[in-house]
Amino acid sequence: MASQMNDHPWFALQTKCRSENFVATQLRGKGYEPFLPVYKSRRRWSDRVKELELPLFPGYLFCRFNPLERLPILVTPGVLQVVGNGKNPIPVDEAEIATIQSAIQSGLPRQPWPCTQVGRRVRVECGPLTGLEGVLLNFKGGHRLVLSVTLLQRSVAVEVDESWVRPVPSSFSATSIPAYV
Protein backbone atom coordinates (compact mmCIF):
# COMPACT_ATOMS: atom_id res chain seq x y z
CA MET A 1 0.00 0.00 0.00
CA ALA A 2 2.93 2.36 0.72
CA SER A 3 4.10 2.28 -2.90
CA GLN A 4 0.57 3.16 -4.04
CA MET A 5 0.50 6.13 -1.64
CA ASN A 6 3.60 7.62 -3.28
CA ASP A 7 1.57 7.98 -6.49
CA HIS A 8 -0.95 10.25 -4.78
CA PRO A 9 -0.48 13.98 -4.19
CA TRP A 10 0.05 15.64 -0.82
CA PHE A 11 -2.92 17.37 0.79
CA ALA A 12 -3.05 19.68 3.79
CA LEU A 13 -5.35 18.56 6.61
CA GLN A 14 -6.72 21.04 9.11
CA THR A 15 -6.83 19.54 12.59
CA LYS A 16 -8.33 20.42 15.93
CA CYS A 17 -6.14 22.65 18.08
CA ARG A 18 -3.10 20.75 19.39
CA SER A 19 -4.19 17.47 17.78
CA GLU A 20 -1.57 17.30 15.04
CA ASN A 21 0.52 14.50 16.64
CA PHE A 22 -2.56 12.45 17.51
CA VAL A 23 -3.95 12.75 13.97
CA ALA A 24 -0.56 11.82 12.43
CA THR A 25 -0.43 8.69 14.61
CA GLN A 26 -4.00 7.73 13.67
CA LEU A 27 -3.32 8.20 9.94
CA ARG A 28 -0.09 6.17 10.14
CA GLY A 29 -2.09 3.40 11.85
CA LYS A 30 -4.54 3.42 8.92
CA GLY A 31 -1.66 2.95 6.46
CA TYR A 32 -1.38 6.55 5.21
CA GLU A 33 1.80 8.63 4.91
CA PRO A 34 1.42 11.71 7.13
CA PHE A 35 4.04 14.47 7.26
CA LEU A 36 4.08 16.64 10.38
CA PRO A 37 7.01 19.07 10.27
CA VAL A 38 8.10 20.21 13.74
CA TYR A 39 10.59 22.56 15.38
CA LYS A 40 12.16 22.71 18.84
CA SER A 41 11.08 25.47 21.21
CA ARG A 42 12.28 26.17 24.73
CA ARG A 43 9.43 26.95 27.14
CA ARG A 44 10.00 28.35 30.59
CA TRP A 45 7.79 27.52 33.55
CA SER A 46 8.29 28.89 37.05
CA ASP A 47 10.19 25.77 38.16
CA ARG A 48 11.85 24.51 34.96
CA VAL A 49 12.75 25.02 31.32
CA LYS A 50 11.65 22.37 28.84
CA GLU A 51 12.38 21.83 25.16
CA LEU A 52 9.24 20.94 23.20
CA GLU A 53 8.65 19.81 19.63
CA LEU A 54 5.88 21.95 18.16
CA PRO A 55 4.26 21.85 14.70
CA LEU A 56 5.74 24.27 12.14
CA PHE A 57 2.22 24.75 10.78
CA PRO A 58 -0.03 24.79 13.88
CA GLY A 59 -3.40 23.23 13.15
CA TYR A 60 -2.20 21.51 9.96
CA LEU A 61 -0.38 18.43 8.76
CA PHE A 62 0.17 16.92 5.34
CA CYS A 63 -0.88 13.51 4.04
CA ARG A 64 -0.70 11.59 0.77
CA PHE A 65 -3.97 9.99 -0.32
CA ASN A 66 -6.36 9.48 -3.21
CA PRO A 67 -8.73 12.49 -3.15
CA LEU A 68 -11.56 10.28 -4.44
CA GLU A 69 -11.24 8.08 -1.34
CA ARG A 70 -10.97 10.71 1.39
CA LEU A 71 -13.73 9.49 3.73
CA PRO A 72 -11.30 7.44 5.92
CA ILE A 73 -9.25 10.63 6.31
CA LEU A 74 -12.25 12.81 7.18
CA VAL A 75 -13.58 10.41 9.83
CA THR A 76 -10.20 10.26 11.58
CA PRO A 77 -10.59 11.76 15.07
CA GLY A 78 -9.13 15.27 15.17
CA VAL A 79 -9.38 15.98 11.42
CA LEU A 80 -11.56 19.02 10.65
CA GLN A 81 -11.21 19.15 6.87
CA VAL A 82 -9.02 18.65 3.85
CA VAL A 83 -7.86 22.12 2.75
CA GLY A 84 -9.34 23.07 -0.58
CA ASN A 85 -11.91 25.11 -2.42
CA GLY A 86 -15.29 24.20 -0.94
CA LYS A 87 -15.56 20.43 -1.09
CA ASN A 88 -12.78 20.12 -3.67
CA PRO A 89 -9.42 19.30 -2.04
CA ILE A 90 -6.47 21.16 -3.53
CA PRO A 91 -3.13 19.31 -3.56
CA VAL A 92 -0.08 21.00 -2.07
CA ASP A 93 2.70 21.62 -4.59
CA GLU A 94 5.08 18.62 -4.47
CA ALA A 95 8.11 20.95 -4.69
CA GLU A 96 6.95 22.91 -1.62
CA ILE A 97 6.62 19.70 0.42
CA ALA A 98 10.06 18.57 -0.79
CA THR A 99 11.67 21.85 0.34
CA ILE A 100 10.07 21.60 3.80
CA GLN A 101 11.21 17.95 4.08
CA SER A 102 14.76 18.96 3.10
CA ALA A 103 14.77 21.72 5.70
CA ILE A 104 13.65 19.24 8.39
CA GLN A 105 16.27 16.65 7.36
CA SER A 106 19.04 19.26 7.36
CA GLY A 107 18.86 19.58 11.14
CA LEU A 108 19.28 23.37 10.90
CA PRO A 109 17.35 25.53 13.38
CA ARG A 110 13.91 26.47 12.07
CA GLN A 111 10.76 28.20 13.24
CA PRO A 112 7.34 29.22 11.93
CA TRP A 113 7.42 32.43 9.92
CA PRO A 114 4.77 34.74 8.52
CA CYS A 115 4.17 34.06 4.83
CA THR A 116 5.83 36.77 2.80
CA GLN A 117 6.04 37.67 -0.86
CA VAL A 118 8.72 40.34 -0.44
CA GLY A 119 12.46 39.88 -0.29
CA ARG A 120 15.13 38.45 -2.51
CA ARG A 121 14.50 35.02 -4.06
CA VAL A 122 17.65 32.90 -3.70
CA ARG A 123 18.93 29.40 -4.44
CA VAL A 124 21.10 27.58 -1.91
CA GLU A 125 24.42 26.66 -3.58
CA CYS A 126 26.15 24.80 -0.74
CA GLY A 127 25.46 23.33 2.67
CA PRO A 128 22.75 20.83 3.69
CA LEU A 129 20.00 22.67 1.77
CA THR A 130 21.79 22.75 -1.62
CA GLY A 131 19.36 23.21 -4.50
CA LEU A 132 16.46 24.65 -2.50
CA GLU A 133 14.94 28.01 -3.40
CA GLY A 134 13.32 30.48 -1.04
CA VAL A 135 13.32 34.10 0.09
CA LEU A 136 16.34 35.41 2.01
CA LEU A 137 15.68 37.72 4.94
CA ASN A 138 17.80 39.36 7.62
CA PHE A 139 16.59 38.70 11.16
CA LYS A 140 18.32 39.64 14.41
CA GLY A 141 21.73 39.87 12.73
CA GLY A 142 21.41 36.47 11.02
CA HIS A 143 19.98 35.24 7.76
CA ARG A 144 16.89 33.14 7.27
CA LEU A 145 15.73 31.24 4.18
CA VAL A 146 11.93 31.43 4.10
CA LEU A 147 10.20 28.38 2.55
CA SER A 148 6.48 28.76 1.86
CA VAL A 149 3.45 26.55 1.44
CA THR A 150 1.32 28.76 -0.79
CA LEU A 151 -1.95 26.88 -0.23
CA LEU A 152 -1.79 27.45 3.54
CA GLN A 153 -0.31 30.95 3.27
CA ARG A 154 2.27 29.87 5.87
CA SER A 155 6.05 29.78 5.83
CA VAL A 156 9.04 28.32 7.65
CA ALA A 157 12.31 30.15 8.27
CA VAL A 158 15.57 28.15 8.33
CA GLU A 159 18.84 29.68 9.52
CA VAL A 160 21.43 29.79 6.73
CA ASP A 161 24.79 31.37 6.09
CA GLU A 162 24.58 34.21 3.54
CA SER A 163 27.56 32.78 1.67
CA TRP A 164 25.53 29.63 0.91
CA VAL A 165 23.03 31.43 -1.34
CA ARG A 166 22.97 33.12 -4.74
CA PRO A 167 20.18 35.30 -6.16
CA VAL A 168 17.80 33.58 -8.57
CA PRO A 169 17.65 35.50 -11.86
CA SER A 170 14.27 37.13 -12.34
CA SER A 171 12.06 35.53 -14.97
CA PHE A 172 10.87 38.74 -16.55
CA SER A 173 12.59 41.69 -18.19
CA ALA A 174 11.68 45.32 -18.59
CA THR A 175 10.69 44.64 -22.22
CA SER A 176 8.05 42.12 -21.12
CA ILE A 177 6.20 44.72 -19.03
CA PRO A 178 3.44 46.39 -21.07
CA ALA A 179 3.73 50.16 -21.39
CA TYR A 180 0.58 52.17 -20.72
CA VAL A 181 0.35 55.66 -22.15
Which CATH number belongs to the domain containing residue 156 in this structure?
A: 2.30.30
- The answer on 143 and 65 residing in a single domain is no
Q: Cα(59)–Cα(67) distance, rounded to whole angstroms?
A: 20
pLDDT in tens, 33-80: 999 999 999 989 889 999 999 999 999 999 999 999 999 999 999 999
User: What pLDDT is stored for residue 172 in this prediction?
Assistant: 47
Asked if residue 76 is part of any domain, the answer here is yes
Asked if residue 45 is part of any domain, the answer here is yes
Residue 180: what residue type?
Answer: Y
Task: Extract long-range pairs of 101-109: CB within 8 Å, 24+ residues apart.
Answer: 101/35, 101/37, 102/128, 102/129, 102/131, 102/132, 103/37, 103/129, 103/132, 103/145, 103/147, 103/156, 103/158, 104/37, 104/38, 106/158, 108/158, 108/159, 108/160, 109/39, 109/40, 109/158, 109/159
Give all strands (DSSP E) within the chain, no chain letters: 10-15, 33-35, 38-44, 49-55, 60-64, 79-82, 84-85, 88-89, 91-92, 110-114, 120-124, 133-139, 142-149, 154-160, 165-167
Asked if residue 18 is part of any domain, the answer here is yes
Dihedral angle sign, alpha carbons of residues 131, 135, 136, 140: negative
Q: Cα(49)–Cα(42) distance, rounded to whole angstroms?
A: 7
Find the domain containing 63 and state its range.
2-91
pLDDT in tens, 157-178: 999 888 788 888 765 444 434 4
pLDDT bin (cut points 50, 70, 90) of residue 118 is low
72, 91, 110: which is the final residue of a domain? 91
Q: Cα(96)–Cα(115) distance, rounded to whole angstroms?
A: 13
pTM of the model: 0.76
- The answer on 79 and 22 residing in a single domain is yes
- The answer on 21 and 83 residing in a single domain is yes
pLDDT in tens, 82-107: 999 988 999 999 999 999 999 999 99
52, 67, 91: which is the final residue of a domain? 91
